[in-house]
Chain A
Amino acid sequence: MADTESDLLRSSLDLLILKTLSWGPMHGYAISEWIETATDSLCLVEEGTLYPALHRLERRGWITSEWGVSAHNRRAKFYKLSTTGRARLRAESPVWQRNAGAIAAALRRTSSEIA
């Protein structure tokens, strides 16, 4: 993976995780499923890359984790959005949307003229 791509992916993955957890506590597998569905498998080429991102976010204090029992009665680690994580999500999403929109619009342009 090229550096630019990984940086871009990492920051978008972080944001996606925060978004996912805004629905409520989830374990890693559930998060991966949600992201996969929500992004048509675009942002999570390898599911394994999710976990370092989760642990890093936890270390940063944006999410917290707790061990619990899954629906299938298995021991699973559940992640939960922290207050700072929620604030972060609220602050980042509009920025991301604006940037993504602007870049998308720019990429759609077909002429070099300055209107």
Chain B
Amino acid sequence: MTLTPGWRRLFRIPRVGRRGIERDVDDELSFHLAMRVEKLRDRGVPEEIANAEALARFGDASRVRDELLTIDQQFAREARLMDWLDSVRADLRYAIRTLRRSPVFTIVAVLTLAIGIGATSAIFSLVNGILLEPLPYAHPEQLVSFAQSYPEKGLDSWQLSQENLAMYRDGASDFASFAGFARRGVTLGGEHPERLTVERTTGEFFQVLGVAPLLGHTYGNAEDTPRTNSVAVLTYAFWQSHFGGRRDVVGTVLDLDGEPVTVIGVMPRSFAFPRSDTQVYLPLGLDPTRRFGWFLGGVARLAPGVTVEQAHRQTTQIFRRWAADMPQLLPPGIVPERTGLTTLVRPLQSAIVTDVRRPLIVLQAAVLLMLLIAVANVATLQSGRAAGRAREIAVRGALGATRTRVGRQLLTESIVLAILGGVAGAALAWIGVREFTASGIVTLPRLDDVRVDPRVLAFTLLVSLACGVLFGLAPLWHAVGRRATSDIARAQREGSHRGARRVNNVLVVAQLGLSVTLLVAAGLVLESFQHLVRTDLGFDPRGVTAISTPLPMMKYGTNASAVPFTETALRTVRSLPGVRSAAFVQVVPFSGAVNTDGYLIEGHAPPSATGTEKQVVTNVVTPGFFRTLNITLLRGRDFTTADRDGSLPVTIVDETLAREYWPDLNAVGRRMRLTGDTTWLTIVGVARSVRDEDVATPSRPHMYTPIAQQPTTWLTLVVRSDGDATATTDAVRRAIHGIESGIPLDGVRPLTQYVDHALDTRRMTEILLGAFALMAVLLAAVGIYGVMSLYVSNRTREFGIRMAVGAEPSRVVRLVLSEGIALAIVGVVLGVGGALIASRWIGSLLYDVSAHDPLAFTVLPIALGALAVASCVLPARRAAKSDPLVALRAE
């Protein structure tokens, strides 16, 4: 038997789904068996025997059935996938064809998106590299930063002494390893002595971070013995810059501060702890018997399974036991448990980025708002097109395309647009990030880890897709949201129908609202920054150059011999042309370093009796310091060369300290001393308070002592010059070298740079936020203008009829404007609401500006509202010119 004549088709489309496949297989197999039985019966075989025979000849029917099901299900899956891919391909082809047909729209939309997505991705690469990317060390989640705290003494974050370090290293079992580090400058000897940035660390430093050297080896616990500093480990950057990456550098002997130091290893490029400008690591030569001098930062690796909280508890116990044994640390009769003595154990990553976390998140939020405005903008463009495409879509519907099919096609178009925008945006982000990180405009922690990496690209893709779906909703609403109509002619008029208008209203309100929010928030931050920049620091950094002049340790080791040097140097420098005044100072304002100590005022109760002690910032200066920095002396006199070793020990205090004890500032003649010292210092002057740590926080109490009575070799020359600072600086450097050739003079920076540097993060936030807000306003203005134009052109017919029946053109203008004004009011009100929420959230970024600053909250929203109304004027004018005849003929 072959083909049965007269067979006909039952189904065109194969059954789908598990059920359908099962039924088909069963039908097919039972058909076979039935046919076989029938044939056997025809030959006269009895019914039961025929059944058994048919089954026997068939074989294992259930196994065959299973096999068929497996094959068919796979087949069905493949078929579905192929179908889907085919339709996607068709949609893509169609989308690309459509976009190519309207190049202006495509270019404008892609550019708008590229700006929004590019900025979003660029900021995300900062967030990613700085906040999200794990530190490049082994098991970074085990790393913690470590410090101590004694709030009653004003020591909120108290660094470690060598004794402290040894006691945690040896006594805290919760740490697998524990190390301390301290930044120092050392002089690399040679023909041109050079100042190096060195990190002196204890032995377990490299073990804590768990990074193997690139070359050679690192030092370890064996180096934790006093006065061991004959080996050095180089950073990758220093190795490259000073040894050209030569692999035989291990074994080289360097002259550091006059001592021979052998290079034993080089760290890999990614190693940048605690800061990326470190050049050399040297062993500290830990001396656990040193009780005083709290200058070590702590870093530790938690033992496996130990939590930060556990380590905090254990180390606090150790710390308190130590405090109880420390003479005169605690007030008499007070046990450590009654004080706030505690250790500070924090995950290393969050400790490193703590200052920039908030600004970065705010920027990311701001740029996302800007992106939303860009999306609304493209949605407006899409809406404009949707009206024009109503006919095309109606035709497609009439030709049999289902609503989902048309919807998918439109969405594909939006997504293609979004991905084009995303690709352009990723390129913009890549360029932006590269320029930004290379420019050195700002110094952020972990800036080296910022790049457009796969995660940033994945983020960009996701954001692009989300954008595509978002602005793809607008045309969907237009095309699919209404009943598919077969009335093609009517479809052309549908642009003005209610749904479309609602979409446009939402777009106007959203764009205006978002830009008001962003602009007000940016306004607050900008105003804060202006206040910060104009903050009276108490000194004038302009025109002052700071020249770091570390004296060679060997020659000036006794410190006292530094005094004649300073006197000779100042005499020479002051006589140079262009120099108005000059002085030496131990700690330059905003250099990041600060020395503090506890103090006693004569006649006031010793602090230990009251339980709390205040800290004073100490600094050592030469005569002329206050004049050079333009710090006003409110009372008394400056130091003179007569204040020297052997004469009356003197000090100058600042207004903040003086005010506390002598509200009328009559402090001259009073005496004070530092807690660790028994010498009473007579106050000879009161200087204005100086902000030298953070522009945004009021200054702490300061006291200055003359270098002749407190010798140091750690000196910086500050020079105030007239006119050309560079020429003057060169002359100064030559003069200094003439006096002492062993001083590396490469650390020359204008004092303003130190101040600027302190404002880096804030400046970055201000510039970027301002730029985003400006961009947002621009986009929103264009978008609102677009929507209003659309609104008018969609109602051309209506306006035409109105005027045909006698409406004045001015009435039509009023109609359009009143619509625009209503939308503007809603948008501004919502925007102000958003700004109120945003301003509370950015509170910590504000300085000297209320979170409800009336200026920002009235002027900016009103200005934006006015801008929105203004962008309705042109379309309104056009509406008034609607020619009734043209409008009607257009139908």
Contacts and interface: CB of A to CB of B under 8 A. Distances in A.
Interface string B19-59: 00000100111011011101000000000000000000111
A78 B7 contact: yes
A59 B78 contact: yes
Given A28-B28, A66-B9, A68-B7, A49 B64 contact: yes
Interface in A71-85: 71-72, 74-78
Interface string A41-84: 00001111101100110110000011111111011111000000
B131 to A, nearest CB: 51
Interface residues of B, number: 36
A46 B31 contact: no
Given A24-B2, A26-B2, A29-B32, A70 B57 contact: no
B3 A77 contact: no
Interface string A19-47: 00001111111101110000000000111
Given A32-B32, A52-B71, A55-B68, A47 B10 contact: no
The secondary-structure label for the interface of chain B is: helix
Given A67-B10, A67-B11, A71-B6, A46 B57 contact: yes
A47 B24 CA distance: 18
B534 interface: no
Nearest to A59: B75
Interface in B645-704: none
Given A55-B68, A67-B11, A47 B58 contact: yes
Given A29-B35, A55-B68, A59-B75, A70 B29 contact: no
Contacts of B485: none
B756 interface: no
A50 to B, nearest CB: 8
Nearest to A49: B59
Contact of A48 (B3, B60, B78): B60
Contacts of A48: 58-61, 63-64
A7 B882 CA distance: 81
B10 A75 contact: yes
Looking at chain A, what size class is its interface with the partner chain? 35 or more
Given A47-B36, A74-B31, A55 B58 contact: no
B4 A66 contact: no
A70 B71 CA distance: 24
A108 B418 CA distance: 72
A97 B1 CA distance: 26
Contact of B31 (A23, A25, A75): A75
A51 B29 contact: yes
Interface in A1-32: 23-30, 32
B1 A47 contact: no
A51 B38 CA distance: 20
Contact of A70 (B31, B60, B63, B64): B31
Contacts, number: 103
A65 B64 CA distance: 18
Contact of A28 (B32, B67, B75): B32
Nearest to B11: A67
Nearest to B63: A48
B72 interface: yes
Contacts of B57: 46-47
B8 interface: yes
B375 to A, nearest CB: 44
Contact of A25 (B3, B34, B35, B67): B3
A29 B59 CA distance: 14
Contact of B59 (A23, A46, A76): A46
B9 A52 contact: no
A70 B75 CA distance: 25
A30 B59 contact: no
Nearest to A46: B59
A32 B34 CA distance: 14
Instruction: Count chain A CB atoms within 10 A of each CB in B7, B10, B58 and give the residue with the most.
Output: B7
B24 A77 contact: yes
B74 interface: yes
B557 to A, nearest CB: 89
A77 B7 contact: no
Query: Which residue, A24, A28, A70, has most C-beta atoms of chain B within 10 A?
Result: A70
Given A59-B74, A74-B31, A51 B68 contact: yes
Contacts of A46: 57-60
Given A26-B3, A59-B74, A76 B31 contact: yes
B2 A67 contact: no
A26 B4 CA distance: 8
Contact of B2 (A23, A47, A59, A72): A23
Contacts of A52: 64, 67-68, 71
A55 B72 contact: yes
A84 to B, nearest CB: 15
Given A46-B59, A67-B9, A77-B31, A30 B68 contact: no
A68 B9 contact: yes
A52 B58 CA distance: 12
B7 A70 contact: yes
A58 B1 contact: no
B3 A23 contact: yes
A71 B4 contact: yes
A46 B54 CA distance: 10
A68 B61 contact: no
Contacts of B36: 29, 47
A51 B6 contact: no
Given A23-B3, A29-B32, A75-B27, A55 B71 contact: yes
Contacts of A77: 24, 27-28, 31
A76 to B, nearest CB: 5
Contacts of A72: 35, 38
Contacts of B7: 25, 68-71, 76, 78
Contacts of B14: 65
Of A34, A46, A51, A74, the most chain B CB neighbours within 10 A belong to A51
Contacts of B5: 71
Contacts of A71: 1, 4-7
Contacts of B74: 59
B175 to A, nearest CB: 63
Name the residue among B14, B24, B35, B60 with the largest chain A CB count within 10 angstroms: B35
Nearest to B57: A47
Contacts of A27: 31
A22 B74 CA distance: 26
Contacts of A76: 7, 28, 31
Interface string B67-109: 1100110110010000000000000000000000000000000
A5 to B, nearest CB: 15
A76 B3 CA distance: 12
A56 B36 CA distance: 23
A77 B11 CA distance: 11
Contacts of A66: 9-11
A69 B8 contact: yes
B5 to A, nearest CB: 8
Contacts of B8: 68-69
Contacts of B35: 29, 70, 72
Nearest to A45: B59
B3 A47 contact: no
A68 B10 contact: yes
Contact of A30 (B2, B9, B78): B2
Contacts of A30: 1-4
A59 B32 CA distance: 21
B60 to A, nearest CB: 6
8 contacts: A25-B7, A26-B3, A27-B31, A46-B59, A52-B67, A55-B72, A68-B7, A75-B31
Interface of B: 1-11, 14, 24, 27-29, 31-32, 34-36, 38, 57-61, 63-64, 67-68, 71-72, 74-75, 78
**7 A-B pairs with the lowest CB-CB distances in the bound complex, closest first:** A46-B59, A71-B4, A48-B59, A68-B7, A48-B64, A29-B35, A59-B75
Given A25-B3, A45-B59, A46-B58, 9 more contacts: A28-B28, A30-B4, A34-B2, A46-B59, A51-B64, A52-B67, A71-B5, A72-B35, A74-B31
